[in-house]
Chain A
Amino acid sequence: MTAQVAERLIYGGNEIPMFTNPLGPYLRACKIGFRSPLTSNWRGYVGTWEVIETAGVGRLYLVGLRAHKTYEEIVGISDVFPGFDKVFAHWFTGEIRLPQGAQIKYRHMGYGSIYEYDLLMDFKEGVLLGKHARHNKVPDDTVDPSTIPSYLRKGS
């Protein structure tokens, strides 16, 4: 699987990549699917999100969407959520991952690449509960050659 194009989050005035798909549960519940335009975008859409604070409480909103209804036809938020130009993601409970800093390990799979830091935000029904950072280390991917079966070794 190819590395996947990230969702976007407007945070601190900047648009940063987000390695979580909060729209996924909504689409599954409503049985909505999009067309993949590229192997780097199997889900068929890219959403732009924003945490908007009201009375000291941060909430997760979908503020932009480019979704491929067909290969050529691109739809936006108001097509998926008629009557809305922003959407409160009240169905989302979980953690969103925002990679920060330099890429320390590229993985050609989903959101598998590892960056120096991950900014993690916890949400409960779309409401921000807390955030914290995680420092990542270069993973030790070395394989012990003795564990490889002989028929898979080069030259066998």
Chain B
Amino acid sequence: MTELLAWRPHSGLDYFLIYLLPGVILVGIFVSVLLQERPSQFAKSLINALTGKKMSWLDQAKELAMYCLVFTCALVGWPGLIVFYFKNKKREAANKEWQERPDFDCAPDYLVAAVNPIDAEIASYVIDPLGFVPALPFGHLNQAWGDFLTSVEDQDEVWSFFVPKGSPTGKYQFECTSDRRGYARVRDGKILGEFITESD
């Protein structure tokens, strides 16, 4: 043990072997994962039954060659793999954050003006000569308006917004098929909620 601890690299080959060591660990991890995830005998027979052909010796040789190539790459190019792993982790986290972001039609570009909710209510009564609308702010949308107001906190502002037809909207930036109007809950320039009064 003391001999091993006292050992110091002398030649270029010694340094190269030290460099390969993390690669060997990485390959070991790969192999253990592959062994854990290899298909069971049942799955293999199912695949054979579905594809209708058995793996020939040539296919097996190709697979072996492929694994050898992958392991050699991992052995030599392990720093690249580590960089790729962390970059991928970062990309996955960013993607997850984007997926969890709420999908609003309104964007900061479409905000028109900060409004007082009471003024918005006064201007919102719907006129229907046949009387098929409740005499409440925003008519049939009154309940949705109430829910929107409940979500507004002290530090929020209510802004009116207008999205012209044809503009890109939402997370997926789909083209808006009609004009859209409504009110947004805004904090520090960020949209936190919306109430749409007109859309298709």
Contact = CB atoms under 8 A, between A and B. Distances in A.
Interface stretch (B44-52, B56-64, B137-145): B137-145
Given A30-B144, A94-B177, A88 B200 contact: no
Interface string B149-192: 00000000000000000000000000001111100000000000
A29 B200 contact: no
Interface in B113-151: 126, 128-130, 132-134, 139-141, 143-144, 147
Interface string B39-77: 000000000000000000000000000000000000000
Nearest to B145: A29
A91 B195 CA distance: 11
Contacts of B179: 93-94
Contacts of A93: 178-181, 198-200
B176 to A, nearest CB: 10
B198 A88 contact: no
A147 to B, nearest CB: 25
Given A91-B140, A93-B178, A29 B196 contact: yes
B141 A59 contact: no
Contact of A84 (B129, B132, B143, B178): B132
B112 to A, nearest CB: 16
A52 B130 contact: yes
- Among the interface residues B126, B196, B199, which one has the most CB atoms of the partner chain A within 10 A? B199
B132 A88 contact: yes
A25 B200 contact: yes
Main secondary structure of the interface of B (DSSP, over half): mixed
B144 A95 contact: no
A25 B196 contact: yes
B139 A90 contact: yes
Interface in A11-70: 20, 22, 25-26, 28-31, 52, 54-55, 59, 61
Contacts of B147: 31
Nearest to A87: B132
Nearest to A21: B200
- Among the interface residues A25, A61, A81, A95, which one has the most CB atoms of the partner chain B within 10 A? A25
Nearest to B131: A88
Nearest to A63: B132
Interface in B4-52: none
B129 to A, nearest CB: 4
B88 interface: no
A58 B178 CA distance: 19
Contacts of B200: 20, 22, 25, 92-95
Contacts of A31: 144, 147
A91 B129 contact: no
Contacts of A25: 196, 198-200
Interface of B: 126, 128-130, 132-134, 139-141, 143-144, 147, 177-181, 195-200
Interface of A: 20, 22, 25-26, 28-31, 52, 54-55, 59, 61, 81, 83-84, 86-88, 90-95, 124-125
18 contacts: A20-B200, A25-B198, A25-B200, A29-B141, A29-B195, A52-B130, A81-B140, A87-B132, A88-B130, A90-B133, A91-B140, A91-B197, A92-B200, A93-B178, A94-B177, A94-B178, A94-B200, A125-B126
Return the 6 tightest CB-CB contacts between A and B, nearest first.
A94-B200, A94-B178, A29-B144, A93-B198, A88-B128, A88-B132
